[in-house]
């Protein structure tokens, strides 16, 4: 179980524990990102960078979704990124190791398959 201590003044319009636990885990990184990507231009850059990622790599954002969503989807992810750009970036960044490992495994599998195809065609791997 994860726990975060939240002051009443920090609640704002988010009363859900999941939001505050997620924020507590990356609060320092959020502050760094605010300095690195200030203002509206920074928000646009974060949206652009996160927009390049596949939806499967945005799963860490589900805890930030509002409302009674039956499921976390691309529309909800886009809204979360718009509403909480720095927190979204920090949460996705924290979860990137798993995404990188998944892609490395996919590449290794694709290379193995490519070698098999080239071997069947009698062509060298260059």
Are 85 and 107 part of one and the same domain?
no
- Looking at the domain assignment, is residue 70 inside a domain? yes
Domain containing residue 34: 8-94
pLDDT of residue 3: 57
Are 55 and 80 part of one and the same domain?
yes
- In this structure, the dihedral spanned by the alpha carbons of residues 27, 30, 35 and 38, taken in order and rounded to 10 degrees, is -140
pLDDT of residue 117: 92
DSSP structure class, residue 69: -
Distance of CA 6 to the CA centre of its chain: 23
C-alpha to C-alpha distance for 2 and 21, rounded to whole angstroms? 7
- How many domains, in total, are found in the chain? 2
Give the residue ranges of DSSP H helices in the chain.
Answer: 17-36, 39-51, 74-83, 85-94, 96-121
Are 83 and 122 part of one and the same domain?
no
**Pair of tokens at residue 91:** 């949460």
Are 88 and 105 part of one and the same domain?
no
Are 86 and 109 part of one and the same domain?
no
C-alpha to C-alpha distance for 71 and 81, rounded to whole angstroms? 16
**Pair of tokens at residue 1:** 């179980």
Each residue's pLDDT tens digit, 2-45 = 655 555 555 556 767 778 888 889 999 999 999 999 999 999 99
- Looking at the domain assignment, is residue 2 inside a domain? no
pLDDT of residue 89: 97
Each residue's pLDDT tens digit, 83-114 = 999 999 999 999 999 899 999 999 999 999 99
């Amino acid at each position: 179980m994860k726990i975060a201590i939240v002051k009443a003044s920090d609640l704002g319009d988010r009363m859900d524990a999941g939001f505050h636990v997620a924020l507590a885990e990356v609060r320092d990184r959020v502050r760094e990102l605010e300095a690195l990507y200030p203002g509206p231009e920074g928000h646009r850059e974060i949206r652009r960078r996160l927009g390049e990622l596949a939806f499967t790599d945005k799963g860490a954002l589900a805890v930030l979704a509002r409302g009674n969503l039956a499921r976390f989807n691309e529309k909800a992810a886009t809204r979360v990124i718009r509403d909480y750009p720095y927190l979204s970036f920090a949460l996705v960044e924290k979860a990137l190791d798993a995404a990188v490992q998944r892609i490395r495994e996919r590449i290794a599998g694709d290379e193995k398959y490519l070698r098999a195809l080239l071997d069947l065609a009698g062509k060298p791997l260059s």
